[in-house]
Structure 1
Amino acid sequence: MTSIPAPCDAAMAATAARKATRHSGAILVATILASSLSFVDGSVVNVGLAAIGNELRASPADLQWVVNAYLLPLSALLLLGGAAGDLYGRRRMFLWGVGAFGVASILCAAAPSLGWLIVGRAVQGISAAMLLPNSLASLGAAFTGEERGKAIGTWAAAGAAAGAIGPLVGGALIDLVGWRAIFLVNLPLVLGALWLGARYLPESHGEGGSKLDWPGAILATIGLGALTWGLTILSGQAAMRGGGWAVAIGATALLLFIWAERKRGDRAMMPLGLFATRSYIGLSILTLLLYGALGGLFVLLPFLLIEAGGYSAVQAGAALLPLSIVIGLASRAMGTLAARIGPRLPLTIGPLIVAGGFLLLSRVDPNGSYWTSVMPGLLVVAIGMAGAAAPLTTAVMNSVDERHVGAANGANSALARTGGLVATALVGSVIASRGAVLVHEVAVASLVAAAMSAAAGCAALLLLEPERMEPA
C-alpha cells in the first residue's frame, strides 16, 4: 500500500457541505489523527515485511497477504462505510472505526502466528473503511467556504507527512525493538482521535435514507478476495493448483456485482451512472493503473534494499522519504496550475513522467550509491505523481453530473486502493527471489510499472473530454 493519500480522499470531504460547527480546530485534529492511522499503517508494514517473514517463517504468498488482508476490505467496503455513516451517523461510525482499529492493532502486535496477524490486518482494513470516509465527511461538515478548503489542505498535508514519517519511525522501531512495535505506534493516535471525537465531534447524517447496499458489498468482497487469492497463487514461483479457478470465481463475482449495482440504480454503493461519461471511464483506468504501479513500488523497493542491499529497516524507510516529501510540497502548486489550464494536460504528462522514473528504477543497484542509483528514479516518479494527484481530484469532480460527485470521489478512491491490492497480489515471484535474481525481477517489475504508467497517461489523452476538463 502507498503512504500517499488517494487523490479523491480529500474531495470526499468537500462534498459534505454543512454549517460550520464549534470546536472546528479539535475536529480537524481528530480527523487528521484518525486518517493518519490508515496512511501510517500502510507504509510502516511495507518496511517490516522482511522482519515479519524471518520471524514467522512466512512464505512470499503469506507476506503478500499481510499487505492484502488490509487492502482488500478497505477497497471493497470503503463506499459502504461512507453510506453507513450517512445512514446511522458519521460520528458513531467514526468512533466505532477508530476503536476497532486500536483493538486490531493490539491483536497484530500480540499475534502468536501469521494467521492471527492476517486476521488483525483484515480487521484493520474493515475499521479503516469505517473511519476514513466518515472522518472526511465530518471534516467537510465542520467548515464552510474558504475555511473548508484550508482545512482539507491541512488534512492532505498532514496525511502526506504521516505517510513520509511512518516508514522512518517504523524502521527505527523494527531495528531497536522488533516488528511488533510498529502496530503499537497506532495506539496514541487512536486514543487522541477517540478522546477528541467523543468530546467535540457533532453527529451528522447524509441526506439519503436508503438502506445499505449489502449485496453489492458482499459481491465486491468475494470478487476482489477470490481474484486476489488467485493472482497471489499464480504469481508464486511454484504456482499451486486452484489459482485459475479462484480468478474465474472472482471475475464472476465482480460481474454479478456490476449486475447488482445496475439493478439498484442510484441507490447502489457504486452507481453505474458514473460511467456514463467517457471522461470518468478514462479517469478510472488512469487511477487503477497509476496507483497500482505506485503500490508495487512501495512494496518491492524497501524489500529489495533490505534483502539485496543490506539496508536496515530504518534506512529502507528513509530511502522513500524523497517521494512523499516532493509530492507533498509540489501537489499544491500543481493543483493551482490545473485550475488555470485544466487537468487534462497534467494528467497526460504526469503519468508519462512517472513512467520515466520507473525506467530509471529498473536500473537500481541495491549495492551501489543510494544517491546515484535509487534517488534519481524516486525523484522523477515523485514529480510525475505530484503533477497527477491534485489534478485528478478536480478531473473526477468535473467528469460526472453534480448528483454523482460524492459517489465518484469515493469510487475513485476505492479504485486507487484496488490498484495497490492487485499489484501486491502479482509480486509473489519477485518477493520469493533472492540475490541477483531478486534484483533482476524488481527491474522487470519496474518496466511493467513504467508501461502501466504510460498507459495511464494515454488513457487521459484519449478519453478525457475537453469540454468537461475546462479550467475551474
Structure 2
Amino acid sequence: MSAPAPSGPPGVTDVPREQRLILWIAILASFVSFLDGTIVNVALPAIVDELGGGITTQQWTVDAYLLTLGAFILVAGSVSDTYGRIRVIRWGLVGFAVTSILIALAPSAPVLIAARLLQGVAGAMLVPSSLALITSNFRGAAQAKAIGTWTGLTSAAMVAGPIIGGLFVDLASWRLAFLINVVPIGVTLWMLARLEQRDVRRDDARVDYLGAFLCVVGLGGVVFALIEEPNLGWGSPLVWLPGVVGALSLAGFLWWQARARAPMLPLSLFTVRNFAWGNLATWLVYGALSLNGFVIVVYLQEEGGLSATVAGLTTLPITILMILLSSRMGALAGQWGPRLFMTAGPAIMAVGALMMLLVREDLNVWRQLMPGVVVFGFGLTVTVSPLTAAILGAIEPERSGIASATNNAVSRIAGLIAIAGVAAIVGGELDLDGFHRAMIATAVAMALGGLVSWLGIRNPAPPAEAA
C-alpha cells in the first residue's frame, strides 16, 4: 500500500491524489529556482567583502545565473517536449544541487560566477517543465486555481529569498545560503519517485542547438557591454565590440527562429493576442521587479547600515500577501478575466515604488519604506497569477511546455537586462539619489506594464460562449 500523498497546497485540497502530488512537485521544483534567484541579493555585500570586485562582482553574480537561465529556458522547453517533462525536472534538480555545492565552495569571484552560469542551465530545466505539468493535468477553473497556487508559493520564494539569505549571512556564512536548496530538491526527488503518471513526450519535438548558441552569445554580449560600460566607457573595444556581436547574434537568432524546422522560440506563438501582449507586460513588470528587489536589499545594507537579516525582513509583507492571496486572485481572474487584474496590479506597484521616495538618509524603515513595500506587495499579488494564467491559457495544452518556457525566459531576460543596467540607472553609485532614481524607473516601468495590459489583453470568452 502506498503512503498517502501530501496534503494539497492552500486552495487545492479537493483534487485527486495524483494531481495533488503533481502540483507539489511543480511548486517545489520551481521553488528552488526562484529562491536562488533572489536569495543571492541579500548576500551580495558579504560576497564582495570576502571575494572582492565591487558592484561589478555583484552584478555578475546575479546576471550570470539569469543569463544562462534566460537563454536555456527556451531550449529546456524543447527538451521537455522531446525527452519528457518528468525526466527533465529530475535532471534539473540534480544539476541544481551539484552547482549549489560548487557555489558554496567557490574560492574566488570568477569561480563563483562560473558556477552561477552552470546553475542557470540547471534552473532552466525546472520552471517550464513544472508549469507544463500543471497545464497538462488541470483544466478550466481548476487550472486557473492551480496556477494561482503555484504562483503564490513560488513567487513567495522569490521574496522570501532575501529573508533566508539574510539569516545565513548574519548568523553563519553567505555560503550556506546556497546550500539550503538541497532540502527542497531532496523532497521533490522523493515525490517524483512516487509519481505514477507516465512521462509525456512529443514525437515531432526537436532541440534547436543553433538557436540556443545564438541566444546565449546575443544575451551574453549585450549584458557584458551593459555591465562593463560604467567602468570602461562605450569607446572601449571591450565594451562596444561584445555589444555589437551580441546585438547581431540576437538579430540572427530571430532570423533563424523564423526559418528553423523546429525553432526553440516559435514566433507563431506571438500571433496569439494575449500571449504577445502578456509577454510585453511581463517584460516591463518583471524587469522593474528585479530592479526594485536588487536595489532595496543592497541599499539598506550598504547605505542604510542594516544587517542582512533586517534588510531581508523588509520583504516579509510581500511574502505574506503572496501566500495568502495569490490563489484567490487566480480564482477571481478565472471568473472575471485577467485584464482588470493585469492593469490594476502594476499600477498599484507603481504607487508603492513612488511611496518609497520617502526614504531619507536618516533612514526610518517603518515610516519611510514599509508603507510602500506593503502597497507594492499587494500590487504584485494582484498581478502575477492572472498574468500567468492569461498567457498560458491563450495557448493550446500541446504547446504548454514551450509557451511557459517563453514566458519565463521573457521574465528572466527582463531581470537580466535590468540588473545589467543598474549602474546606468542609479548614476554609477547606489547612494540615496541613486535609490530614488531606481524607484522612479520602477514606477515608470510598472505603469507602462499596466497600460500595455489594458490596451492589449482581452478576457477569454465564457465556456458556453466559446463552445
TM-score, normalised to structure 1, is: 0.86
Distance 1:458 1:165 in 2: 28
Distance 1:83 1:192 in 2: 26
1:29 to 1:457, Cα distance in 2 relative to 1, 3 A: closer
**By how many angstroms is 1:141 displaced?**
5.5
Distance 2:146 2:332 in 1: 20
Distance 1:202 1:107 in 2: 33
- Determine if contact 1:95/1:198 at 8 Å carries over to the other structure: no
Partner of 1:449: 442
1:145 to 1:459, Cα distance in 2 relative to 1, 3 A: closer
Q: What are the equivalent positions in structure 2 for 1:2-401 lying under 5 Å apart? A: 25-139=20-134, 152-200=147-195, 202-236=197-231, 241=236, 242-264=238-260, 267-365=262-360, 367-397=362-392, 399=394
- Determine if contact 1:430/1:442 at 8 Å carries over to the other structure: no
- Determine if contact 1:91/1:201 at 8 Å carries over to the other structure: no
- Determine if contact 1:365/1:374 at 8 Å carries over to the other structure: no
Q: Deviations over 1:332-379 (max 9, x none)?
A: 333333334332233222222221111112332364221211111112
**By how many angstroms is 1:382 displaced?**
1.7
1:94 to 1:240, Cα distance in 2 relative to 1, 3 A: farther
Q: Deviations over 1:203-253 (max 9, x none)?
A: 412234232111111111111111111111124586772322222221111
Distance 1:112 1:402 in 2: 45
**By how many angstroms is 1:423 displaced?**
0.5
Counterpart of 2:417 in 1: which secondary structure? helix
Amino acid at match of 1:118: I
- Determine if contact 1:274/1:404 at 8 Å carries over to the other structure: no
Counterpart of 1:263 in 2: which secondary structure? coil
Greater shift in the superposed pair: 267-276 or 327-336: 327-336
**By how many angstroms is 1:441 displaced?**
0.5
**By how many angstroms is 1:432 displaced?**
9.0
- Determine if contact 1:236/1:432 at 8 Å carries over to the other structure: no
1:280 to 1:30, Cα distance in 2 relative to 1, 3 A: closer
- Determine if contact 1:235/1:426 at 8 Å carries over to the other structure: no
Counterpart of 1:394 in 2: which secondary structure? helix
1:325 to 1:238, Cα distance in 2 relative to 1, 3 A: farther
Greater shift in the superposed pair: 130-139 or 141-150: 141-150
Q: Deviations over 1:421-440 (max 9, x none)?
A: 11110113578966xx6111
1:173 to 1:412, Cα distance in 2 relative to 1, 3 A: same
- Determine if contact 1:89/1:203 at 8 Å carries over to the other structure: no
Greater shift in the superposed pair: 184-193 or 66-75: 184-193
Counterpart of 2:259 in 1: which secondary structure? helix
Distance 1:193 1:446 in 2: 37
1:425 to 1:349, Cα distance in 2 relative to 1, 3 A: same
Counterpart of 2:410 in 1: which secondary structure? helix
Greater shift in the superposed pair: 275-284 or 50-59: 275-284
Amino acid at match of 1:298: G
- Determine if contact 1:226/1:246 at 8 Å carries over to the other structure: yes
- Determine if contact 2:345/2:381 at 8 Å carries over to the other structure: yes
TM-score, normalised to structure 2, is: 0.87
Counterpart of 1:211 in 2: which secondary structure? coil
**By how many angstroms is 1:151 displaced?**
5.0
**By how many angstroms is 1:268 displaced?**
1.6
- Determine if contact 2:73/2:128 at 8 Å carries over to the other structure: yes
Greater shift in the superposed pair: 118-127 or 155-164: 155-164
- Determine if contact 2:34/2:157 at 8 Å carries over to the other structure: yes
Distance 1:163 1:358 in 2: 18
Q: Deviations over 1:79-107 (max 9, x none)?
A: 21122122123332222211111110110
1:462 to 455, 462, 465: 455
1:141 to 1:419, Cα distance in 2 relative to 1, 3 A: same
Stretches of structure 2 that go unaligned for 5 or more consecutive residues are: 1-14
Distance 2:448 2:130 in 1: 33
Distance 1:397 1:191 in 2: 29
Amino acid at match of 2:258: R
Task: Indicate whether 1:439 and 2:464 are aligned.
Answer: no
**By how many angstroms is 1:50 displaced?**
0.6
**By how many angstroms is 1:289 displaced?**
0.9
Distance 2:145 2:456 in 1: 32
**In angstroms, what is the RMSD of aligned CA positions?**
2.8
Distance 2:81 2:396 in 1: 20
Partner of 1:424: 419
Greater shift in the superposed pair: 412-421 or 324-333: 324-333
- Determine if contact 1:305/1:366 at 8 Å carries over to the other structure: no
Amino acid at match of 2:257: E
Q: Deviations over 1:137-174 (max 9, x none)?
A: 34555667877666544433332343344322221111
- Determine if contact 2:426/2:437 at 8 Å carries over to the other structure: no
- Determine if contact 1:346/1:391 at 8 Å carries over to the other structure: yes
1:278 to 1:144, Cα distance in 2 relative to 1, 3 A: closer
1:339 to 1:149, Cα distance in 2 relative to 1, 3 A: closer
Counterpart of 2:178 in 1: which secondary structure? helix
- Determine if contact 2:73/2:124 at 8 Å carries over to the other structure: yes
**By how many angstroms is 1:279 displaced?**
4.3
Amino acid at match of 1:162: A
Distance 1:188 1:136 in 2: 21
Distance 1:381 1:317 in 2: 16
Greater shift in the superposed pair: 415-424 or 241-250: 241-250
**By how many angstroms is 1:78 displaced?**
1.1
Stretches of structure 1 that go unaligned for 5 or more consecutive residues are: 1-19
1:59 to 1:300, Cα distance in 2 relative to 1, 3 A: same
Q: Deviations over 1:29-81 (max 9, x none)?
A: 44433222112212211110011011111221121010111111111111211
